[in-house]
Structure 1
């Protein structure tokens, strides 16, 4: 994996773990497109809806005095200037991860201003048994 992408992905993950909308927003491309599957319903959305979703998620984590548990499952080179990061994320409340989380298939593209999140496919409500996925807790 190219070092510039690794640095960018690590910064993206830190912004997420810190619930920093200001930092995370710098990684989302203005032409971002996503699909999310929630309870068998598929929703398509773009940049504005994404930022609003992150805002609500981050507010919830802060209000609950919780934290994020994010696991990098894989990084796959798609093209010379594109990488897909497959991530599993859940929220940890009172020291215990929630029973479900979300799988993110995030595609980043190298642009003049750096690596930007351009596409996502998100599966919500993914149930993972405790020993199936080490969350680093």
Structure 2
């Protein structure tokens, strides 16, 4: 039976989230489109925008910051679907553990992916960052 685009996207998200928890910035950045656009709303309500190169550096910095502390991100899906442009859209909460202990960090992500050379690549990301567990 042929896999639907939604099933394919859901399968990709499992791999994507494993990459996120790998603490390997190159592996994580490989899922990004060169056309990536990111917007983060920080806890103090300051909004930052950046592209692919800044996002790559963000992964390097994040993983370096948590090195040796056994970081683990936990994902709680709100919505996973395919839009009219045949892009995969994932809306989800992210919680975070360090040294086996849950932190008070709780982020809301909206991420959009499209097929580029037959691979899902993240093209847009929006994050709200003022929630607590």
TM-score with structure 1 length normalisation? 0.83
Q: Which moved more, 1:2-11 or 1:40-49?
A: 2-11
Report the Cα distance in structure 2 between the residues aligned to 1:26 and 1:93, rounded to whole angstroms. 24
Q: How does 1:34-113 map to 2 (within 5 A)?
A: 34-38=38-42, 39-113=44-118
Task: Calculate the aligned-residue CA RMSD, in Å.
Answer: 1.7
Residue 39 of structure 2 corresponds to residue 32 of structure 1: no
Report the Cα distance in structure 2 between the residues aligned to 1:18 and 1:87, rounded to whole angstroms. 19
Match of 1:18 among 11, 19, 22: 22
Cα displacement (A) at 1:95: 2.7
Residue 11 of structure 2 corresponds to residue 7 of structure 1: yes
Question: Are the counterparts in 1 of residues 6 and 82 from structure 2 also a CA contact under 8 Å?
Answer: no
Measured at CA, do residues 82 and 13 of structure 1 come closer, stay the same or move farther in structure 2, by a change above 3 Å? same
Deviation per residue, 1:91-127 (Å, 9 max, x gap): 2124321112221100111222311100011111321
TM-score with structure 2 length normalisation? 0.85
Structure 1: gaps of 5 or more residues: 129-137
Count of residue pairs the alignment pairs up: 128
Question: Are the counterparts in 2 of residues 61 and 67 from structure 1 also a CA contact under 8 Å?
Answer: no
Cα displacement (A) at 1:75: 0.7
Cα displacement (A) at 1:79: 2.0
Question: Are the counterparts in 2 of residues 17 and 70 from structure 1 also a CA contact under 8 Å?
Answer: no
Q: How does 1:116-135 map to 2 (within 5 A)?
A: 116-128=121-133
Q: Which moved more, 1:8-17 or 1:87-96?
A: 87-96
